[in-house]
Amino acid sequence: MQLITAVIKPHALDAVKDALKAIGVSGLTVSEVRGFGRQGGHTETYRGTEYTIDFVPKAKVEVLVDGMDADKVVDTIASAAQSGKIGDGKIWVTEVGRAVRIRTGEQGSDAI
Amino acid sequence: MQLITAVIKPHALDAVKDALKAIGVSGLTVSEVRGFGRQGGHTETYRGTEYTIDFVPKAKVEVLVDGMDADKVVDTIASAAQSGKIGDGKIWVTEVGRAVRIRTGEQGSDAI
Amino acid sequence: MQLITAVIKPHALDAVKDALKAIGVSGLTVSEVRGFGRQGGHTETYRGTEYTIDFVPKAKVEVLVDGMDADKVVDTIASAAQSGKIGDGKIWVTEVGRAVRIRTGEQGSDAI
Amino acid sequence: MPRRLALGAGLVAVLTYVMASPAAAQELPEGAASQVILDNIWVLIATVLVFFMQAGFALVEAGLTRAKSVGNIMMKNLMDCMAGVLAFLFVGYSIGFGAEALGGFFSWDGFGVPGIDDVAAAPAALNLSPATFFFFQAAFAATAATIVSGAMAERTKFKSYFIYSLVITSLIYPVILSWTWGGGWLSQLDIPFSDFAGSTIVHATGGWAAMMGAIILGPRIGKYGPDGRPRVIQGHSIVLVVLGALILFIGWFGFNPGSELAADALVPQLAVKTLVAGCAGAVIAMLVNWALDRKPDVSMAANGLLAGLVSVTAPVGAIETWAAVVIGAVGGALVVLSVRFFDRRGVDDPVGAISVHGVCGTWGTLSIAFFATFDDAFLGREDAGLLYGGGIGQLSTQALFILVHFVFVTVTTGLLFLAIKKTVGLRVSEEEELAGLDVMEHGAPGYSTEQGQGTGLLPSAGVPVVERV
Amino acid sequence: MPRRLALGAGLVAVLTYVMASPAAAQELPEGAASQVILDNIWVLIATVLVFFMQAGFALVEAGLTRAKSVGNIMMKNLMDCMAGVLAFLFVGYSIGFGAEALGGFFSWDGFGVPGIDDVAAAPAALNLSPATFFFFQAAFAATAATIVSGAMAERTKFKSYFIYSLVITSLIYPVILSWTWGGGWLSQLDIPFSDFAGSTIVHATGGWAAMMGAIILGPRIGKYGPDGRPRVIQGHSIVLVVLGALILFIGWFGFNPGSELAADALVPQLAVKTLVAGCAGAVIAMLVNWALDRKPDVSMAANGLLAGLVSVTAPVGAIETWAAVVIGAVGGALVVLSVRFFDRRGVDDPVGAISVHGVCGTWGTLSIAFFATFDDAFLGREDAGLLYGGGIGQLSTQALFILVHFVFVTVTTGLLFLAIKKTVGLRVSEEEELAGLDVMEHGAPGYSTEQGQGTGLLPSAGVPVVERV
Amino acid sequence: MPRRLALGAGLVAVLTYVMASPAAAQELPEGAASQVILDNIWVLIATVLVFFMQAGFALVEAGLTRAKSVGNIMMKNLMDCMAGVLAFLFVGYSIGFGAEALGGFFSWDGFGVPGIDDVAAAPAALNLSPATFFFFQAAFAATAATIVSGAMAERTKFKSYFIYSLVITSLIYPVILSWTWGGGWLSQLDIPFSDFAGSTIVHATGGWAAMMGAIILGPRIGKYGPDGRPRVIQGHSIVLVVLGALILFIGWFGFNPGSELAADALVPQLAVKTLVAGCAGAVIAMLVNWALDRKPDVSMAANGLLAGLVSVTAPVGAIETWAAVVIGAVGGALVVLSVRFFDRRGVDDPVGAISVHGVCGTWGTLSIAFFATFDDAFLGREDAGLLYGGGIGQLSTQALFILVHFVFVTVTTGLLFLAIKKTVGLRVSEEEELAGLDVMEHGAPGYSTEQGQGTGLLPSAGVPVVERV
Ligand SMILES: Nc1ncnc2c1ncn2[C@@H]1O[C@H](COP(=O)(O)OP(=O)(O)O)[C@@H](O)[C@H]1O
Ligand SMILES: Nc1ncnc2c1ncn2[C@@H]1O[C@H](COP(=O)(O)OP(=O)(O)O)[C@@H](O)[C@H]1O
Ligand SMILES: Nc1ncnc2c1ncn2[C@@H]1O[C@H](COP(=O)(O)OP(=O)(O)O)[C@@H](O)[C@H]1O
């Protein structure tokens, strides 16, 4: 079982969700995050004082997969979230040992 | 050392925290997330236009454990968060290589 | 490749980011979380009724590293975030199987 | 000098209504403004301030409840004013101020407001034209209605609340009016009742209705622990609470001084006493709360301001300034204790409406029996208060008035809420309540911080969108 | 009894202006207030209420749009008032109320406001001093200007909006004034136009300008799906929407009754009719929306209140109370249908400004032809409405008035927006729009929940800070 | 025509006070409104607008500071009004407006307000009854007090602020009153001081007190980098800032025109000049800021509006409209530069109170020396300004007035803050400041988005709850 985590641009979330749904992913969890990266760093002025905005808003998508090819999920996210402009974000995959569906207590791939 | 991640209904957080405290878990980290899953998808109308609410609010709980049986933690969360209705959420477990308590620099199980 | 996750005090974020930048970390992702731990638990009164504040605000920092020594990153965060007072937070490290930069499709260490 | 709308049979000789009478108008020298015009304009401006209180109530209630039902509470506050005014126009006004009917149980003049469209109509009160008088009374009716929504917040069906608000403004409040300001039996007692601007007539009507509503509904899910002890459900925005309280503070300078129903020398007196009572209420509530809980709670200070204002609303025309400070201060202390009392008795009133309007309204009405020294039209004599040697006559009347009112309001609103409960239902489902009323009852969350392309994908961070449990 | 500013040649004999004339003043007995003073003070207070509407507009518009551009919308509302008043002071007033110029196409008196600094100047209207009259008219000009920002929200360059607001208050709106309240040709027809407080002159000017702006700009990114069907972009705060609507409600008691331009017996009539029309609009909009969408939408109820108020603004001086209820109710139904209509036609108006001000303003102006029974100065006769046997004469005039106004506003504002588009550009870049206008146009997010040490490291949770796409 | 409260010995012959005198009242024809009534009613309404400014100040200050101390800032604004009014009632009024005492250093009449409960009391000023006059002056005292909270925001102990606000309204501000509007030595100079509505007396009192407070407190943690350079700490809500500024804008139409203390022909003049100065301040502040920082900052535009209003407050009775535009515009430019100046000098004033009220208040007071042409009661002659050939006499007086006031306020408030610092302490602990003042000082976060069952488990997303460091 694997957990795929993607940090994407907020307005790409729609497309990513639809693309994942299309390949049969049945669930995912999203959170609001702030990203610091190559994209970052522009300077603004507030009431006469300069400041730098380093962090830009991103959405973090987490998808737990089993049975299904994790790579396919990664590729699906990558193509749905890609605008080709800096700041499109990252995807990474970690190994998951155990998964449980709380409602039923089902384990492993049944849990997803 | 293991990291247990649970996505639960927000109002179950109280019960989960108390149950974990009861079995000796000394810390956890929570964040607000949005979930998409079997539960989702109802249609509303706003100013005459229909739209679908796909994402429902969830709380994500992360607990780092060592020494203690991760399974016990998983089961504790599962039973505290269970309402039996759709959308109760998921729990998953990942392996953690190293842990540090920032205040003291303690490592491994001492860090938790 | 490894994912370093740190739960720190919100106002330490500035220092952590600068310290990581200084050792060449090119990106990170931050989110707002609430922490429950040794620090917690003080009692307040609202409109005549007592209640306990268990959760305190924390910032969660996630850094994906490869090539670079994960331990160095951990130590850098630890020293930048350390105030020596209770509640400074935790750092943990998990193994990452695959990483992708969405914009280019680059994989592995190139993705970071 | 005219004080308050004189009531009952023969209490007042209405001044000649010169405004629209060509003959009388010629008596005024060219260019002199008539007192009639000034009275009407002043009461109209005061009424606008009273209508502004609707915004104040909405904000206080929204601020003291959770974000997930904020649209619902704003809607209820909007609608009890909007629908309430129409109900009062078509039905309630006639019951409140019509000719005696039904053996004096209430009044009736047919539907609508006699003379409302006639600029030359006989005045409805003192110098006030029927239009001005209706405008003012409609604002009061809307105030009585809107008090209830806060106490019933976060769990009442919108449809049911809407029905309630139509009934209270078309029937329940008007019957009270007909007994009191409308000239009915409470104003015809040997020692008539006294309630200058409505501590009981307006505020306690809302307050006791709120109490019945909160009791019949039961507390919000999670408000009480398994042990029955109250738990804290914090309001979501103290900015809204304090802004709302300040708007109410401003509005009260229409509510009390406007109740003089004339532009005369008493008006500034009413403003000053309203001011100092509100200030004393806020300061004392803060201090009492500080002493009890070791910290000065912001929302209780705001409640204290309102408590002081409600308290002084009945006696404002009859008391000296120092007494206004005392009455407001007692109101401020009372509200802190009363909020605790109801909270611990299992009555879940998120905004303190019962305490502010019911308890302090009652205190204010009673305080006349102690502190009244000036004659206002309701009292008909000076030094009516115990402290000024007025004897216990006024105390008896005030107690009777308070009691009759309490029984009438609790019985009628109790029956109303029970009837609604049996028919359309009073409370939303557990699922709806947990999710918040906004999406389920109105189709959209009250707050949204959606960042996407308008597809609702990441709506309302931190604000619960409905959850299908 | 004076009604509304009498217009055109010989329509009115202005009352002697006693205020500053020592001789005339002596005719008043010592201590008698003069009608002149009262008229000026009342209109001044009414004007303050009208200026308060600026806050109402700002909040409604902010609440119905997204958090990421909230600073921008507040700034636009602030600035169209601030810059608009100065533009109207220096240029617009003279065009609107000066002596006939350019063969009557518009008026001109030179820059500025004649007599504005002179306490003894001849009255500008009825008893109103030039200062009072300017004060009142400036508030109206600011209202006409501010309506547009909502319809163009979240995608218009600030600089371009600023230019637009200068032009509308210095040129476009003043020309309409000169034709109508300024005494120009529409007031000199055999059956003159009638628009008591500006359903068309003020509101529809803003409404149709808003329509042209929204069309020329195009919809917000993501508002329409690839199939062209509208998608939902929720406003970010229903609290702001309802608070704003209630402030506008309050402000309208200055807008309509103040338009009497005198303190007289008609003023309370105007207040009552404004009140009941607004209430009917809110209730009916809620019910129609409830029927159509199965749930009562809060923001549509707020729009309904405004729709009722806009609708009654033109006929308010000429109708009976029941007719005000009907006119407001029709406005409430219209706004629900109209918002759908424009939404589905691809015109992205996030706040419903076109429907509330354009469509309901037009309905209100037309309604005079049916419901007018009282004479106000514009009508010059009683029972002008079809229902009172007034014939179709007034209907023809109203239709002509509406049409001429529509053509003039759409053409001039259309050309204006196109000219701005060609030169400085009208719309922000796609990057800016996605990120929100606050940071890119004004340098800071509208909301910030930064917790750090003031270094902006964790700013604005849930509120997008700019993103370099 | 009466202008402003005439001051000093023999400056004015008070009009016969007919209101409560039966004999005099009969001189008025039946139905004629008395000028006395109208004066009192108008000033009362104006005062309500001034009290509304409390909400405006609260919102501007809340919006320009962080969410974690928002309850604290609302509470301070609430309480400096509530406690301030009581302090002014019991002590301050007598110091400000009593008979000369202590060799003229200040006034004293015993505690309280003479005649406040007496409807027939001799007028306190012109035609104003003691109640009306107190009501008006209390609102001004509350304004002077409330200015300070913004500059000291996010780090001052509530208890200490409460003490400060009692002292300023009961002692410091009243002494200034006694020297000026109370008829003391500054009004008895050969060329008396001039400050129509309080640019210096009210606003600069608050502004300079704010400066002393901010300096003695020191900056917020994190406001300055290790290099001493200022860093940005963004306010948390621009909606609150602009709404607050618009409420203040509205309130100023009570503040300045109400300061005429009579309903007369000058009132509309005062309104127009207030309006155009505010507008010019906003527009010019925006443009200057735009030029300096390449983007128009919304909060600076709001500050500019207030700067224009503060600037015109002193000269408003004496100047022409064009001069009001100029004075407001200069104020708008000044505020932008002044905010930078103080920020870079290490004085951390999150809301710009020092610049808006201190600097622009001083500019406005000085501007009289250049632009005064009309006589208001303080000036006692026409064309007092340099531009009208009035010579430098007025300039000397204004400079003396400004200087004496500056020294008095900075010394007394400086000593007060130092005394508080030594005793109860002025500043919260570092832990409290980092966590925000709401939970630590008041027991609850200002915002809460808790979704749970009322157990506070997930409170205040995005808003820091206290942290035990
Ligand atoms: N090493 C990293 N660890 C965790 N998150 C990262 C890392 N590098 C980048 N990110 C996340 O990815 C986002 C995009 O990265 P960025 O370098 O700006 O552009 P790109 O994705 O085009 O390389 C960042 O805003 C941040 O949220
Ligand atoms: N594959 C998945 N990956 C990550 N999170 C998931 C996944 N499936 C479900 N979730 C999370 O679990 C929540 C509940 O899942 P859902 O399918 O609605 O009901 P149930 O838990 O009863 O199966 C979702 O809202 C989502 O947050
Ligand atoms: N077992 C755990 N699992 C996950 N997060 C934890 C755990 N223990 C502590 N934390 C996080 O670390 C933060 C600090 O922990 P705490 O016990 O308060 O102090 P310290 O870091 O000094 O030991 C907590 O607020 C919580 O967010």
**Given pLDDT bands bounded at 50, 70 and 90, which one contains residue F377?**
confident
Task: Provide the pairing of β-strand C56-65 with C2-8.
Answer: antiparallel
| Mean pLDDT value across residues A88-112 | 92
Which pLDDT does position D90 carry in this prediction?
97
Which pLDDT does position F218 carry in this prediction?
97
E458 lies in a domain?
A: no
* Stronger pLDDT, E114 or A39, i.e. the higher one: E114
User: Is the confidence at residue F216, as pLDDT, over 80?
Assistant: yes
Q: What is the pLDDT of residues F131-175, one digit of tens each?
A: 999 999 999 999 999 999 999 999 999 999 999 999 999 999 999
- Nearest CB to E447 within list F236, F280, F296: F236
Contact status, residue E113 vs residue E130, Cβ threshold 8 Å: yes
Q: How much of chain F exceeds pLDDT 90, in percent?
A: 82
DSSP summary character for residue B43: E
Which pLDDT does position D462 carry in this prediction?
30
Which pLDDT does position F28 carry in this prediction?
79
**Given pLDDT bands bounded at 50, 70 and 90, which one contains residue B108?**
confident
Q: How far is E251 from chain D (nearest CA, A)?
A: 9
Q: What is the pLDDT of residues D360-419, one digit of tens each?
A: 999 999 999 999 999 988 899 999 999 999 999 999 999 999 999 999 999 999 999 999
- Interchain proximity D243–F58, CB inside 8 Å: yes
D1 lies in a domain?
A: no
Which pLDDT does position A56 carry in this prediction?
84
Cα distances (angstroms) measured from residue B93 to each of A61, A74, B25, B70 = 17, 20, 16, 8
Nearest CA to ligand 1 atom 8: C27
Environment class of residue D346 by beta-carbon count within 10 Å: exposed (0-12), middle (13-18) or buried (19+)?
middle
E105 lies in a domain?
A: yes
Domain holding D49, by residue range, is 24-430
Q: Residue F340: its chain A contacts at CB < 8 A?
A: 48
User: Is the confidence at residue D9, as pLDDT, over 70?
Assistant: no
User: Is the confidence at residue F181, as pLDDT, over 60?
Assistant: yes
The least confident of D103-112, D333-342, E108-117, F390-399 is D103-112
Environment class of residue C84 by beta-carbon count within 10 Å: exposed (0-12), middle (13-18) or buried (19+)?
exposed
- Nearest CB to D458 within list B46, B55, B87: B55
Instruction: Give the Cα separation of E2 and E114 in Å (integer).
Output: 23
Which pLDDT does position F467 carry in this prediction?
36
- Interchain proximity B56–D468, CB inside 8 Å: yes
A111: contact with B, CB 8 A cutoff = yes
Contact status, residue F193 vs residue F401, Cβ threshold 8 Å: yes
The tokens for A71 are 């790579």
Q: What is the pLDDT of residues A41-99, one digit of tens each?
A: 688 999 999 988 888 888 999 999 987 789 999 999 999 999 998 999 999 999 998 99
- How far, in Å, is the centroid of ligand 3 from the Cα of A66? 30
Cα distances (angstroms) measured from residue A2 to each of A21, A77, D245, F47 = 17, 15, 54, 68
CATH number of E324's domain: 1.10.3430.10
**Given pLDDT bands bounded at 50, 70 and 90, which one contains residue F7?**
very low
User: Is the confidence at residue C106, as pLDDT, over 70?
Assistant: yes
Cα distances (angstroms) measured from residue F434 to each of B4, C10, E430, E453, F154 = 31, 10, 38, 8, 9
Which pLDDT does position F2 carry in this prediction?
32
User: Is the confidence at residue F285, as pLDDT, over 60?
Assistant: yes
- Measured in whole angstroms, the distance separating CA E315 from the mean position of its chain's CA atoms is 15
Q: Which residues of chain E have pLDDT under 50?
A: 1-26, 451-469
Q: Residue B71: its chain A contacts at CB < 8 A?
A: 98
For the packed helices E70-87 and F266-293, what is the interaxial angle rounded to 10 degrees? 130
| Mean pLDDT value across residues F263-280 | 98
Cα distances (angstroms) measured from residue F355 to each of A101, F165, F347, F406 = 60, 20, 11, 14
Q: Looking at the predicted complex, does its ipTM rise above 0.90?
A: yes
From E274, E283, E330, E325, select the one nearest E302 (Cα to Cα).
E283
The tokens for D39 are 């009275």
- Interchain proximity C57–F467, CB inside 8 Å: yes
| Mean pLDDT value across residues D142-150 | 96
- Interchain proximity B10–D464, CB inside 8 Å: yes
Q: How far is E459 from chain C (nearest CA, A)?
A: 11
How many domains is chain D partitioned into structurally? 1
- Interchain proximity B14–F461, CB inside 8 Å: no
Q: Which chains touch E (3 or more CB pairs under 8 A)?
A: A, B, C, D, F
Residues of F within an 8 Å Cβ radius of C: 222, 434, 439, 443-444, 455-469
**SS3 label, residue A61:** strand
Contact status, residue D196 vs residue D7, Cβ threshold 8 Å: no
- Interchain proximity E457–C17, CB inside 8 Å: yes
Instruction: Give the Cα separation of D100 and D98 in Å (integer).
Output: 6
Which pLDDT does position F12 carry in this prediction?
29
- How far, in Å, is the centroid of ligand 2 from the Cα of A68? 16
Pocket test for ligand 1, best of C64, C66, C73, C107 (most atoms within 8 A of CB): C64
Q: What is the pLDDT of residues D169-223, one digit of tens each?
A: 999 999 999 999 999 999 999 999 999 999 999 999 999 999 999 999 999 998 9
The tokens for F453 are 């069952």
Which pLDDT does position D450 carry in this prediction?
54
Pocket test for ligand 2, best of A1, A4, A26, A29 (most atoms within 8 A of CB): A29
**Given pLDDT bands bounded at 50, 70 and 90, which one contains residue A10?**
confident
Atom of ligand 3 at shortest range from CA of C55:
25
Which pLDDT does position D101 carry in this prediction?
66
Q: Residue F220: its chain E contacts at CB < 8 A?
A: 454
Cα distances (angstroms) measured from residue D189 to each of D2, D178, D378, D406, E469 = 21, 14, 11, 18, 78
- Write out residues with Cβ below 6 Å of ligand 1: A 7, 35-39, 56, 58, 86-90; C 26-29, 62-64, 101-103, 112
Atom of ligand 3 at shortest range from CA of B25:
1
The least confident of A40-54, D324-338, E446-460, F20-34 is E446-460
Contact status, residue F59 vs residue F240, Cβ threshold 8 Å: yes
| Mean pLDDT value across residues F189-216 | 97
Environment class of residue D10 by beta-carbon count within 10 Å: exposed (0-12), middle (13-18) or buried (19+)?
exposed
**Closest C-chain CA to D301:** C47
Q: Is B7 in the pocket of ligand 2 (CB under 6 A)?
A: yes
Interface with chain A: mutation pick from F231, F293, F300, highest number of A CBs within 10 Å: F293
Q: Residue A59: its chain D contacts at CB < 8 A?
A: 458
List the alpha helices (DSSP H) in D356-392. 360-371
- Interchain proximity D33–E37, CB inside 8 Å: yes
Instruction: Give the Cα separation of F321 and D80 in Å (integer).
Output: 45
F317 lies in a domain?
A: yes
Q: What is the pLDDT of residues D214-223, one digit of tens each?
A: 999 999 998 9
Residues counted in chain C: 112
Contact status, residue E250 vs residue E270, Cβ threshold 8 Å: no
User: Is the confidence at residue D449, as pLDDT, over 90?
Assistant: no
- How far, in Å, is the centroid of ligand 1 from the Cα of A36? 6
B74: contact with A, CB 8 A cutoff = yes
Which pLDDT does position E11 carry in this prediction?
29
F72 lies in a domain?
A: yes
Q: How much of chain D exceeds pLDDT 70, in percent?
A: 89
Q: Is A84 left (phi over 0), alpha (psi -120 to 50) or beta?
A: left
Q: What is the pLDDT of residues B31-87, one digit of tens each?
A: 988 899 887 668 899 999 998 888 888 899 999 998 778 999 999 999 999 999 899
Contact status, residue E386 vs residue E392, Cβ threshold 8 Å: yes
**Given pLDDT bands bounded at 50, 70 and 90, which one contains residue D100?**
confident
F18 lies in a domain?
A: no
**Given pLDDT bands bounded at 50, 70 and 90, which one contains residue F101?**
low
User: Is the confidence at residue F341, as pLDDT, over 50?
Assistant: yes
DSSP summary character for residue C11: G
- Nearest CB to C28 within list A36, A60, A83: A36
Domains of chain C: 2-111 (3.30.70.120)
Nearest CA to ligand 3 atom 19: C87
Q: Residue A26: its chain B contacts at CB < 8 A?
A: 37-38
**Closest E-chain CA to D240:** E239
Q: Residue D339: its chain C contacts at CB < 8 A?
A: 47-48
Q: What is the pLDDT of residues F435-457, one digit of tens each?
A: 889 999 999 989 886 543 332 33
- Interchain proximity A56–E462, CB inside 8 Å: no
- Nearest CB to E34 within list D31, D138, D451: D31
- How far, in Å, is the centroid of ligand 1 from the Cα of A89? 5
Q: How much of chain F exceeds pLDDT 70, in percent?
A: 89
Q: How much of chain D exceeds pLDDT 90, in percent?
A: 82
- Write out residues with Cβ below 6 Å of ligand 3: B 27-29, 62-64, 101-103, 112; C 7, 35-39, 56, 58, 86-90
Q: Residue E297: its chain B contacts at CB < 8 A?
A: 45-47
F449 lies in a domain?
A: no
Which pLDDT does position E31 carry in this prediction?
86
**Given pLDDT bands bounded at 50, 70 and 90, which one contains residue D108?**
confident
Which pLDDT does position B66 carry in this prediction?
87
Q: Is B91 in the pocket of ligand 2 (CB under 6 A)?
A: no
Contact status, residue F241 vs residue E78, Cβ threshold 8 Å: no
D263 lies in a domain?
A: yes
Q: Residue C32: its chain E contacts at CB < 8 A?
A: 458, 461
